[in-house]
Amino acid sequence: MRAMRMCFPLLALVLLACQGKRAVSPDEENKPGPAPEETTRWEGASSTPEAPRPSSGGGGGVQEAAAKRSDQYDQEATEVVLKRAARQVKENCGAAKDESGKATGPWGKVTIQIQLGHNGHSKGVTVPAPYQGKPSGNCVEKAFTNLTYPPWGGQDTPVDWEVELVQPANEKK
């Protein structure tokens, strides 16, 4: 019984290794393959590859996608990451509490500056004066720290981005 358990995996490996191959005799080895007329022809198959046909679209404009510059950051992909972080700020940072356990604000829209590193990671966040050092401002800094986006070959780039700090419902007066 034990020998059979050991033989089955070995047999399976042998079958997988030989699957689809047949033994070829030395006489068949030197024999040329079937003539083109003897091969199976599928509908739409041709022996000569067709050149790609130009599209019949109007206008003679450039149809290739514009090449992306490697010395600038990918604005589209980076914008997705920044919007995600801004959404997190809007949903969570307005309710950030101080040492006494109260959400003290300030609330509203604020423009922050994110330093985008050319290596694909954010290098720093600058929060303006009324928010800086406050629980909501610290939350904004944490939300925009350690962002990851596509790297590029240029210099680090500062980006201004607007976020909204929403006053929590139970703290409204």
Structure tokens at 99: 């040492």
Total tally of structural domains belonging to the chain: 1
Residue 31 included in any domain: no
Three-state SS for 159?
Answer: strand
Residue 129 included in any domain: yes
Which pLDDT does position 72 carry in this prediction? 85
Which pLDDT does position 73 carry in this prediction? 86
Which pLDDT does position 64 carry in this prediction? 46
Residues 40-73: tens digit of each pLDDT: 555 555 555 555 555 555 555 554 445 566 778 8
What is the layout of strands, in order, in the sheet containing 122-126?
122-126, 108-116, 157-165
Residue 131 included in any domain: yes
Domain containing residue 136: 75-171
CATH code of the domain containing 98: 3.30.2420
Contact 94, 136 (CB under 8 A): yes
Which pLDDT does position 128 carry in this prediction? 94
Residue 70 included in any domain: no
- Four-residue CA torsion sign, 125, 129, 130, 134: positive
46-70 CB burial, b ≥16 within 10 A, e <16: eeeeeeeeeeeeeeeeeeeeeeeee
CA distance 92 to 142: 11
Task: Give DSSP secondary structure letters for 46-71.
Answer: -SSPPPPPPP--SS----SPPPPPTT
Residue 13 included in any domain: no
Residue 35 included in any domain: no
Residue 124 included in any domain: yes
Regions of the chain short of the pLDDT cut 50: 63-65
Q: What is the pTM of this model?
A: 0.57
